[in-house]
Structure 1
Amino acid sequence: MVVLLNTRRHFVLLLATVFCFSFRLCFGEDRITFTTPIKDSNSDTLLCKSGVFRFGFFTPVNSTAKLRYVGIWYDKMPIQTVVWVANKDSPINDTSGVVSISSEDRNLVVTDGRNRTLWSTNVTVPVAPTTTWVLLMDTGNLALQDSRNNGETLWESFKHPYNSFLPKMTLGTNNRTGENLKLTSWKSYTDPSTGDYTAGLAPYTFPELLIWKNDVPIWRSGPWNGQVFVGLPDVDSLLFLDGFNLNNDNQGTVSMSYANGSFMYHFNLDPDGAIYQRDWRAPMRDWRIGVRFPKTDCDAYGKCGPYGICNSREDPQCKCVKGFVPSNATEWSARNWSNGCVRRAMLKCNASNGGGRGVGKGDGFMKLERMKVPINAIQSLANEQACPQQCTDNCNCTAYAYDKGIGCMLWSGSLVDMQSFVGSGIDLNIRLAHSELKTHSSLAIVITASVLGAAFVAAVCVLLACRRFRKRPEPKKDRSAEIMFKRMEELTSGNESASNQVKLKELPLFEFQVLATATDSFSLRNKLGQGGFGPVYKGKLPEGQEIAVKRLSRASGQGLEELMNEVVVISKLQHRNLVKLLGCCIEGEERLLVYEYMSKKSLDAYLFDPLKQKILDWKTRLNIMEGICRGLLYLHRDSRLKIIHRDLKASNILLDDNLNPKISDFGLARVFRANEDEVNTRRVVGTYGYMSPEYAMEGLFSEKSDVFSLGVILLEIISGRKNSHKEENNLNLLAYAWKLWNEGEAASLADTNVFDESFAKEITKCVQIGLLCVQEVANDRPNVSTVIWMLTTENTNLKKPKQPAIIGRRGASEAESSDQSSQKVSINDVSLTAVTGR
């Protein structure tokens, strides 16, 4: 009887084991274990949890060879789109292939029917009893993980890219490890073997994106200026502003990554040597090509040779820089421009004791506007005013340029790969002999004087005629708008040019009656909320456009200045993560601002509402965190103005139809001068709970003040809890997060509506980032670009945070804040304060 029971028990265990192995139910369909290999004969595959990517055996579409490869592709698409291949140069001739965990070294291997290893992850795995598995992540990253160390990644496909650059993947070089992550093309559209083209970042002084054919450059992007690659004409800056992040330690380590709201989006290096950006159009059921590099014949690297300029709008496309002639006239006439141009007159750098500062005998510089600057720029720490002299004083310097995002660039030797652009580019100044700089003849001077004289006479005649026939004076008009714009010009002087002040005046002015009609006379049912300087109403213009109208409260003594400040600041900002200002209204005592309407209202309306919290799943919260960071990075580094928001909080983050975040309310924002990093003020304004200690206590604010506010928001997004100034159980949100971090339980801070064990590692990292942002000392906090890098990469080797501010800090600030607690100015229960800093 006992023998029979044991036999049945063994039989049941055997059936369970066979069932588990056959149907891959032990670990799920997104991973390979030692006992669950993938067999091509069984049509086995892995599918990531999101259902976007699939891993397994495939044959390229339209291939006549019918060879079998192992790779990753987009699932459920009518168009086969492979993004990574393992055995690209070792295909299998039949369906006998197997992908498995090797019993010998625990690596992932691809073997054929004769058990020959055709491909392996080939890493050193810790000694037994370590077990490993392979996981296909939602990002499309295939990872070999160690079971002993909480799933430590030993190898990943993102560190071995092929022809596709996916969101959250990183390209670049690492000087310390020798790592060089580049894209490599397929041999052809039906042959995944290694092709002739590669693409990646070149660790120049100013990093650039390059494409090489057999290691010879064929295209370059121009240097990165913190916002875009400046050598890409007519490319929508939002392509790079929304998600791209480039890090450079100036020691040979440079990396680039990007995030996107959808993984149905990627860049691809095709077999023809071009980079295409593609995103999936669900209604059309195909890929849309957004941008392509190279785009024109002039994008070919060095097409016109040294000192040659390429212009795709002209024929012939190549011409020599003024003061230069073709090095070979016969070749140049035959449209062979590769040997470029040579100087017509030799330089005499020392003739005037400093290259041009003498009695007109030395060298000078000629400005070429809107150019793709040459390759191999040299960095100088000189500012914009000192940059020209740096080149003038150096006889080896052949050209200089200055860009606000890059700084001073100098060149020595020949200038190669220049283009002339229309709307973009950088002004390039090239050294020429003095004899080449004579540009005005006597005839030209006579003609110019005659034209100016005639214009002057005509202008006088028009003025006299207007004065003679002018009508009687019109009734006196309300001059509020005129006075307001005059004060705006004063606010922007020193930061913006006169042309930009003119653009400011072009901001639409709405009539008060139009806005009153749009909001149904500012009825309570259209009221969206109450801001620090007045209520906000929903409205609809006659043409049907929905708007949000902020009406300045007449009781606000400081409101006019803040309203003017908001118009000045936001009218110059264009970014998808910043709310858009449509216009304003100034009539009599009325002051109103008109914005685009955000249907989902503010972030705090979702975060702190028990019912709406459930709408914000973890991936949506991650997207919101990244979007806020993108908008803040634009304010700090990428816009024409350097702007500190000073009132960043959840109620000032608005959400669009797709729950994408947009930073709003710039009434307290401060525009920094180019050389300012920190400012001291005696007027401290903002919201306690979000204010950095150095600002609240000493009136000091900088980029790191906004970073502190950002850290508070990140922790609120993770937890769904408000960082209320009134502590609960003697612990506010920052103190509670710090306590959990020290106890190794950071993931438990997460809102119970979104917590899942599969997200625990990512949640812990986000808590760590939030704590890094709220550290007591401003210099310890990361800048926003670093925060974006930490959020969008899978690297978990981050700095350990120090104790955050506010813990144990009670006293004057708390007392002053509590004095204001009764002055509620928002439906979201936040308070605006104005105190005197020490």
Structure 2
Amino acid sequence: MESSKVLLLVSLLFYFTPRLNALDTISAGQSLKGSETLISQSGTFEAGFFSFGDSNSFLYFGVWYKNISPRTVVWVANRDTPLGNSSCVLQLKNGRKLVILDSIGATIWSSNLSATAKKPVVQLLQSGNLVVKEANSSAAANFLWQSFDYPGDTLLPGMRLRSSKVSGQNTSLTSWRNTQDPAIGPYSFFIDTHGLPQAVITYGRTLLFRAGSWNGYFFAGIPSQTLNKYFNFTGIVLTGTNVSYGYELLSSSIISRFILTSTGIVQSFLWSDQTESWQLLLAGPVDQCDNYAICGANANCDVNNTPFCDCLHGFIPKSLEKWNSLNWSGGCVRRTKLECDSRDGFLKVPSVKLPNTSHSWFNVKMNLKQCENMCLKNCSCTAYANLDIRDGGSGCLLWFSDIVDMRTLPYGAQDLYVKVAASELGHKGNKKLLAGILAGSISLILVIILIGVVILWWRMKLKKKDKNKTKIWSHTDVRENEDIDIPIFDFSTIAKATNHFSISNKLGEGGFGPVYKGTLTNGQDIAVKRLSNNSGQGSEEFLNEVALIANLQHRNLVKLIGCCIQDDERLLIYEFMINRSLDNIIFDQIKSSLLHWTQRFQIISGIARGVLYLHEDSRLRIVHRDLKTSNILLDEHMNPKISDFGLARIFGVDEAEGKTKRVVGTFGYISPECIRGSFSVKSDVFSFGVIVLEIICGKKNMEFFHNYNLDLLCYAWRVWSEEKPLELIDESLGDSMALSEVFRCIHIGLLCVQERPEDRPDMSGVVLMLNGEKSLPIPKEPAFYPQQFGSSSNNYELGSTNEISVTQLDAR
């Protein structure tokens, strides 16, 4: 009898021993150590401690495919902190954290679980997801922690890569250092949320490869006709302020994985039972055309051509010499400037991977014809395409900058429509149009000749008159001024750089005069301000700007490269800002939608730091006196740079206020005391406050006045007082913003536009407030333009240069 009981006990032990080793779950108080493992119910995945090769010198805890040899690891917990010996344990500590402990009980790795469960368990799911959850709950929404939220180099079915459009944070695939070292390597694969979301591979912060935007079936940059046979891609899904991407298997019998290799290549594999090996489905990058922007801007790459880089139709190499030597990094530029009217047209570039969408705009509800019309009406639009290629195409995708990183694809590609001037359309133009252009050209030439004769006569008359009246600054005056140390350019050099101040090179016009884009012989792009004879400014403002900005160095101030003086010509040469001025973006309905809150706050903070430098941190104490959105330039990274110092004034160390009989500035930005003939650093603070409110609202201060008989400052005060600040915020921002940060900026803007200068903060206080390091006082009712001008006895008209009492107002 006793012997039969012993036999039964031994049988039970043998029966249950393998099941203990095949558990998929451990509870609080249990642990996993040594060679013990968790095995998913399907038997596909296994989790436990492992080492590479035969060495036990470095141990990791991870998840791998149970029945595939050699071992294929899909997730590693302690990838940067391997264990030095086999005396290690995995356990659920205090009912909340999953931890790995070494031989002396020190924590080597832990999950970031903060919630506490009543009855927590650790389970390896059939998907390969290691989770911490309530014992009796199977819903994914109730997982307290999961390994799928912290991917390594592998993307499994059911796993999702996520990115935030607000914070920019993302979950990404990160490469191993090498095939035997799972430590975090330099390559990352993630969803870039700027513009239309797209998948990218980076090396550190350097963009190497774009898998492209989602076209309804797959990423446009790595199309494969075989993918949809095995996978159900859920694509890029927009959920509020978050973007995610993942895929599911069409059959449970399929074993698949996506991996980012240690060499920076994303690959998709299927397991073949026949060959007992992984079969490669696709990879990217695969050839030279996949290297990001290898052909530069406005060019297409085609591996079947020799050479494989070619400018788009209507564009020519920026540097023909470099292009012919197979250096394409400079890209291409337009051969003919756009007319910005209905005469412009589009040329189709078929079967390509769409260009970089980080500066694009999209609308899912528009059709292709509506998309074309919108692009044609917007002068800044450079190209358009369908957003989705399913069912013949739908949605609208617009580009507003250079076309970068485009290539020809053999299948799964899209058509791109590039805007070109009418003359580039070739046979698409008609004879009537050509005849009209010819007749118009002849008339224009005659008018230009006539105008030229009149201008020549007028300039000779003025030159003769000014000899006895006004001193003309020369190169010598600039060189002998000990405060000025900048290069002096020959007029012929700048004329050549700007194509002799061609209208096609003109960027715009301000109070100083027209501004032209130019390119020096060394390839450097420049912006050239040319003093106009009709300008309210003259030699005094010209020399003032040269003397001031030559001595200022700050990341948020535009850099003066040099100047030029020859006869009556006055030229200022600046670094070229590719995104031009803030007003060009913030007040444009389409462009402003591309400027999310994080960038707007970055611009506000950058302007504040630049003004603080002028007021307190430079060797000169400077009042700018003409801060406005058109004088804030934006570089390629949207960093703001303050420009136009022609009206600026230097203050002494002990000087608090300046007086003037000639009040200058721009309506909508001028402080009340400037109207009365005095100015100080607080005048710039007022202008800064107006800019902040305009950036938040997306509308001009004076535009508010003319449309609603109410300026922006008044409206901002009204909604703030009524506790409705959301009504002030630009609708294009949507939900992509931190409301507490926006409300803080509105509060700061109102403090800056107070009527009395002493009620406004100084710029050091503003910077502290923006950083959340200083409490905000309660603002009073701000200065309103209706108060300043509405009751004037002089019938003063806003926007004019009429005189008012006491001062003369030179408004620009």
TM-score, with normalisation over the residues of structure 1?
Answer: 0.46
